Amino acid sequence: METGHASPPSEKNSPFKGKTGLARIWNAFGYSLAGLSAAYRHESAFRQEAWLALILIPTALFMPVGGLGKALMVASVLLVLMVELLNSAVEAVVDRVSLEHHELAKRAKDIGSAAVMISLVDVAAVWTLVLFG
């Protein structure tokens, strides 16, 4: 009779999920740095947004606003970078699957682009509200 215990999903999904503890954290950190490096090397939009972040984040920290305002300003800029990374990942996977035109591929890429646009509008809104609101 079966006990209802299945093997953990990580064993079924990926042979690379075996690390635990500090080894897992160290590997994840390495993968994250590799992802940032790849995005910077291969994605011009990410490069532009990273340079913008290097200007806006210190600017936010030196603005004569309270801590919450500074936090919101910095978080809105970091959100753009996060959304751009996710958008770039979606685009890479779509392109890996097929480079031929397909309506679902176009939709996925357009939706990712829309998410980036909304995050950029968020930066403008947050900064305007904090500075002038």
11 belongs to the catalytic site:
no
List the structure tokens of 71: 């936090």
Average pLDDT, the chain: 91
- Report pLDDT digits (tens) over 74-92: 999 999 999 999 999 999 9
77 in the Ramachandran plot: left (φ > 0), alpha (ψ -120 to 50) or beta? Answer: alpha
Number of domains forming the structure of the chain: 1
Is residue 108 within 8 Å of residue 123, measured between CB atoms?
Answer: no
Residue 87 within a domain: yes
- What letter would DSSP give residue 78? H
The domain that holds 65 is classified in CATH as: 1.10.287.3610
Is residue 39 within 8 Å of residue 85, measured between CB atoms?
Answer: yes
Q: Which of 84, 91, 100, 103 is catalytic?
A: 84
Residue 125 belongs to domain spanning: 44-132
Residue 23 within a domain: no
Regions in the chain scoring below 50 on pLDDT: 2
pTM of the predicted model as reported, rounded to 2 decimal places: 0.83
Percentage of the chain modeled with pLDDT above 70: 86
Residue 77 within a domain: yes
Q: Alpha-carbon distance 72 to 70, whole Å?
A: 5
Q: Alpha-carbon distance 69 to 127, whole Å?
A: 9
Residue 17 within a domain: no
- Which pLDDT value is given to residue 20? 82
Percentage of the chain modeled with pLDDT above 90: 81
- Which pLDDT value is given to residue 76? 98
For 57-60, the CB contacts below 8 A with 24+ separation are 60/127
